[in-house]
Amino acid sequence: MTPRLHYGTPAKIFHWLIVALLAVQYPIGWLMPDLHRGMQPGAPMIFHVSVGFTILLVIVLRLAWRLSHPVAPESSLPIRQRLSSELVHWMLYVMVLATTISGWLFASYRGWTLSFFYLFRLPMLASDNAAAGKAIDGLHQAAEWLLIVLIVLHVGAALVHIFIYRNRVMQRMLPG
Ligand code: HEM
Ligand code: HEM
């Protein structure tokens, strides 16, 4: 498949939708109260899990779209920058998947029954398991922080392209 030179509208919508969902998801994650064993999830956890499932669904659709509609890196960039940006982009996909799946596993090992925005019951991946839950809690936290590191690198690179190189890389992800 020949890679196209520009991101199309669906790729741009997927990109900014994930940005918006993560901007909601992190504050919910940090602000929601800690739940100890035996406690049932309340509204903040239902919202965290429901937004998390939405992110998982959107990233899977986005990845499928990306694989079926490849886009070449900006041609004016030196090869090292092209390779490093591609690497960070693929790692962003992997870490969004890892963060959502580790969260889903963690909620499953807690033995909770959870709904999607109070609309329908969400499927769980495993049954109650305290030891596995503890291990996966650490993984969810590690994944969420590694994702932040990648986002900082990615946004930092975007700012360098805007203000230092003054090239058209940012335009590639903007409407139009
Ligand atoms: C990319 C998506 C996600 C992000 C960015 C995210 C982020 C976070 C954050 C920041 C916390 C607070 C942990 C801390 O204190 O550091 C958290 C906790 C938690 N998340 Fe997520 N999360 C995501 C997806 C999910 C999903 C899909 C689920 C379940 C289906 C989930 C289940 C949980 C649970 C159960 C906790 C509580 C952890 C605890 O009590 O220690 N998360 N998440
Ligand atoms: C304000 C924040 C952000 C800005 C300004 C921004 C900007 C950009 C730009 C300009 C590109 C195109 C790069 C190129 O042409 O090579 C891009 C691509 C990309 N961005 Fe962002 N981004 C932001 C946040 C995020 C976040 C939070 C994520 C995901 C967690 C993300 C994931 C990606 C991915 C995966 C690509 C590559 C798309 C592909 O080739 O499939 N971005 N971003």
Whether 3 is in a domain gets the answer no
Determine whether the shortest distance from the Cβ of 56 to ligand 2 is under 6 A.
no
Whether 1 is in a domain gets the answer no
Whether 4 is in a domain gets the answer no
**Residue-number span of the structural domain to which 73 is assigned:** 9-173
Determine whether the shortest distance from the Cβ of 59 to ligand 2 is under 6 A.
no
pLDDT computed for residue 40 by the predictor: 86
Tens digit of each residue's pLDDT (9 = 90 or more) over 107-160 = 999 999 999 999 999 999 998 999 999 889 899 999 999 999 999 999 999 999
> If you write DSSP's letter for every residue of 10-50 in order, what string do you get?
HHHHHHHHHHHHHHHHHHHHHHSPP--TTPPP-HHHHHHHH
Whether 138 is in a domain gets the answer yes
Whether 103 is in a domain gets the answer yes
Whether 68 is in a domain gets the answer yes
pLDDT computed for residue 1 by the predictor: 72
CATH number of the domain that residue 139 is part of: 1.20.950
Whether 2 is in a domain gets the answer no
Which tokens sit at 57? Answer: 């669904």
* Residue nearest atom 36 of ligand 1, based on CA coordinates: 103
Its pTM surpasses 0.85: yes
Whether 60 is in a domain gets the answer yes
Q: How many domains does the chain have?
A: 1
Sort 166 into a burial class: Cβ within 10 Å, 0-12 / 13-18 / 19+.
exposed
pLDDT computed for residue 3 by the predictor: 85
**Pairwise CA distance, residues 31 & 11, whole Å:** 31
